[in-house]
Structure 1
Amino acid sequence: MIDYEVFEREIEKGKIKNSYIFCGLDEELIKDGINVVIKKTLGVDTDDFNLIKIDGMKTNFDEIMNACETFPLMSDKKVVFVYRANFLRDKTDEASKKIYKSLKEYLSNMPPYTVLIMYYLFNDKREKANKNKKLISLDKSITVVHCDKLRRDAYIKKINDIFKERKKNIGKAELIYFSEKVQNNFDIIKREVDKLISYTIGRDINKEDINLLISNSGEEDVFDLVELIAQRKIESAMDVMREILYKSDQHMLIINNLERQFIRLYEIKTGLASGEKVQDFISKFKLPKFICEKLVSQSHRFSEKQLIELIKLCVKTEKNLKSSSIDKTMEMELLLINTLTVKK
């Protein structure tokens, strides 16, 4: 069993196996890997003659086997692509178990001219490739590629490749900023890249464009997180943080939003002290009235001194998160615990 980065390195060396199973949560990342194998096997101008697609939800073993056995047309190779191959899940019905059992026996006798590719999506983050008995058993005769979250450098590089594919340059600082702000899901990432490109036709992308176009879907979650910090309910705050991570798995995105929230509250706190009103914050932050009213209400829960210390904690945590040698979730939990030491 290999991860996506090992798979990419093998492809770069020209090592194409005769069968693959892709699995994970990010379907777009999985499809990218599959498309690379198809193009490397059949060429850039892929014709449908030697690419057979099968719906794994509706198929049976005979259909897969017959597709694999058919000779390629005017080519040395053909690709059989079984998508939504849910019969590979650990727990399935009897029909799926039958497909799996027959396929397992067949894999060692596959014709050399066929490249078989299958994939299925995990139900949630709790599903693990190395806990799936079917995948472990098949790993001896087929290459299983677990498409998990990429390491930071590989993640940023892949996002940069998306910009390059669309023939749009982006500066290094802007690329890193974008990668930390966007959700770690390549379907979402590609749509956000397309939005940025359409908005910045004829000029370079800057941070203001990124802030304007990429929505902070986790802002409500971060508001709740800050509210629990104010109430010193750290165990509940940890539950909320784990839920946010479950949805996005973006530690840096959370800490950036959390830091941003405390900075806003500090600016509101000092602004109120100097006579500013809600209307002033609406203009300043370009936020709806009801959100500014909520922020004003939340600012009353903290002192100026407390907010300064909380911002410092976030900055320290952000710096620590950029190190690849730490447990990022534990670092976030430590941040929440440390908020208890910040006095009003």
Structure 2
Amino acid sequence: MKKGEKNTAYDKLRQDVDQGSLEKLYLFFGEESYLKEHYRDRIFSLIGGEGFAQFNQVVLDGDSLTLDELIDSVESLPVMSDKKLIFIRDLNLSRPPAGLREQLPEIFENLPDTLCMILYFDALEYKPDKRLKTWQAALKAGQAVEFSRAPQQELTPWIKRRFAALEKEIDSRECEYLTFVCGSLMTNLASEIDKIAAGTMKKQIDRQAIDQLASRALEAQIYQLTDCVSKGDTVAAIRTLRDLLALKFEPVVLAGAIGKQVQKLYGAKLTQQAGLGESALMELFHMRSSYPAKLLRQAAGKRSLPWLRRALLLCDQADKELKSNNADGARVLELLLLRMAAEKERVS
């Protein structure tokens, strides 16, 4: 899929749903479950007619799907409705259930006009293999719509609307801070917004309320951890690390996250020295908001290149040690933080 096609397909879906003019086949995939579920539910509400949904809406499990079940669903006509909906969750088009591989291309190519089929990728990752006839036929017959994380300019008004529905107000800067703290997935943000609104008596949501009530995403906690290390507050850094381990994060995952953050700091330092601004940093790390880019530039300005280079080597060593058979994960990570702090003192 070429750059730009994802947004085009998503915009086309929005138009289709708004106008009630649906394609024969959609492939829904992507990490933004909130939007994916939203458009799934909207299509369900469009098809079926009052009192006839049980005849016009068929929900199938891709793992256990049979050829007879699929053919019967496709060939049966809608009842008191212009269209019928077939919703199939996690159908592996690369390795379909027995009996389906040879028939699926023909079924996709000959879907009737009275049908709307949704191939919904949820637990199963969307990985099209365009060499296979099943994928070729599905992509030719339908629209592949990716539901990716929304950019900040879309999240901010959405966050404000969610708070307004709960009789609360929030400024744009706090919206950016909220997405930094909690991540940009709307499903998680919706839950955090409900929690914050319920937990504060004030009408105006401020940063204090977010800090007190919101659950921090891993990336925000790793930022806090590395910030403590660079400031020389190793005790606070180890406390944050132990909190993450208590939440059952795998040590190798945490080591990777720490290494990734140091890589970002290193990249930010290099862009600064090259005279580049926040937009270059956003493009480099595919950021959807200028807020984390601004924080990253500020943090990078306080670090030296020698320390960042050494910290990267230490992260790599910790990662290799964690992947050995006898590594004590907590010990390896705590030593990593102590060594990073020691290097900061040495190169300062």
The answer as to 2:34 corresponding to 1:3 is no
Residues 29/130 of structure 1: CA separation in 2 closer, same or farther (3 Å cut) = farther
Report the alpha carbon displacement of residue 99 of structure 1 after superposing the two structures with TM.
Answer: 2.6
What is the match of residue 258 of structure 1? none
2:41 to 32, 35, 39: 35
Match for residue 240 of structure 1 among 233, 257, 260: 257
Q: Name the amino acid aligned to 1:327.
A: L
1:149 equivalenced with 2:107 (yes/no): no
1:26–1:130 distance in 2 versus 1, CA, 3 Å: farther
Task: Decide whether the 8 Å contact of 1:42 with 1:78 is kept in 2.
Answer: yes
> Secondary structure of the equivalent of 1:48?
helix
Letter in 2 for 1:3: K
Q: Deviations over 1:40-78 (max 9, x none)?
A: 344799933322111112212321221122222222222
Pick which of 331-340 and 204-213 moved more.
331-340
**Kept after mapping to 2: 8 A contact 1:54/1:82:** yes
SS in 2 for 1:52: strand
**1:320 is the counterpart of 2:278:** yes
**Structure 1's 324 and 18: CA in aligned 2 closer, same or farther, altered over 3 A?**
farther
Q: Which is worse superposed, 41-50 or 146-155? A: 41-50
- How many residues of Structure 1 are paired with residues of Structure 2 in the alignment? 264
| Partner residue, 1:25 | 31
How far 1:144 moved relative to its partner? 0.8
Q: C-alpha deviations, 1:98-154, integer Å up to 9, x for none?
A: 535422211221121111111113767xx7668896646522111111222222223
Q: Determine the structure 1 residue equivalent to 2:58.
A: 52
* 1:339 counterpart residue number: 303
Q: Which residue of structure 1 lines up, in the alignment, with residue 84 of structure 2?
A: 78
Q: Could you say which residue in structure 1 is the equivalent of 2:111?
A: 110
Alignment of 1:180-195 (within 5 A): 180-195=180-195
Residue aligned with 1:80, SS: strand
Unaligned 5+ residue runs, structure 1? 232-236, 246-250, 256-309
Name the counterpart of 1:211. Answer: 211
8 Å CA contact 1:22, 1:120 repeated in 2: yes
Question: CA 1:14 to 1:74, structure 2 compared with 1: closer, same or farther past 3 Å?
Answer: closer
Instruction: Report if aligned partners of 1:23, 1:120 keep a CA contact under 8 Å in 2.
Output: yes
Counterpart secondary structure, 2:304? helix
Alpha-carbon distance, 1:168 to partner:
4.5
Contact 1:163 1:169 in 2 (8 A): yes
**Whole-angstrom CA distance in 1 between matches of 2:190 and 2:112:** 36
- Is the 8 Å Cα contact of residues 20 and 116 (structure 1) preserved in structure 2? yes
Please list, as runs of the form range in 1=range in 2, the aligned pairs for 1:154-233 lying within 5 A after superposition.
154-160=154-160, 162-163=162-163, 166=165, 168-173=167-172, 174-200=174-200, 203-218=203-218, 221-222=222-223, 224-226=225-227
| 1:214-252 superposed Cα distances (whole Å, 9 cap, x missing partner) | 122436533553477579xxxxx995346579xxxxx9x
2: CA distance, partners of 1:176 / 1:148? 18
> 1: CA distance between counterparts of 2:259 and 2:179?
21
Q: Which amino acid aligns with 1:170?
A: E
Once superposed, what is the RMSD of the aligned Cα atoms? 4.4
Which blocks of at least 5 consecutive residues in structure 2 are unaligned?
Answer: 233-253, 288-292, 308-346
Q: Secondary structure at the match of 2:145?
A: strand
Aligned partners of 1:38 and 1:79 also within 8 Å: yes
Q: Is the 8 A contact 2:56 2:79 kept in 1?
A: yes
Distance change >3 Å, CA 63–CA 238, structure 1 → 2: same
Change (3 A) 1:98 1:153: farther
Seen in structure 2, the aligned counterparts of structure 1 residues 172 and 131 have a Cα distance that, compared at 3 Å, is farther
Question: CA–CA distance in 1 between the matches of 2:298 and 2:177?
Answer: 24
Query: In 1, are the aligned partners of 2:48 and 2:55 still within 8 Å (CA)?
Result: no
The residue number in structure 1 matching 2:74 is 68
Residue identity opposite 2:257 in structure 1:
V
Supply the distance in 1 between the matched residues of 2:23 and 2:278 (Cα, whole angstroms).
39
Question: What are the superposed Cα offsets for residues 241-282 of structure 1, whole Å, 9 maximum, x if unpaired?
Answer: 46579xxxxx9xx99xxxxxxxxxxxxxxxxxxxxxxxxxxx
Q: Report SS of the residue matched to 2:85.
A: strand
CA–CA separation in structure 2 for the residues paired with 1:244 and 1:10? 40
- Seen in structure 2, the aligned counterparts of structure 1 residues 336 and 117 have a Cα distance that, compared at 3 Å, is same
Q: Report the TM-score when normalising by structure 1.
A: 0.59
Distance in 2, matches of 1:201 and 1:52, equals: 45
- What SS class does the counterpart of residue 82 from structure 2 fall into? coil
Asked whether the 8 Å contact 1:77–1:115 carries over to 2, the reply is: yes
User: Helix, strand or coil for the counterpart of 1:326?
Assistant: helix
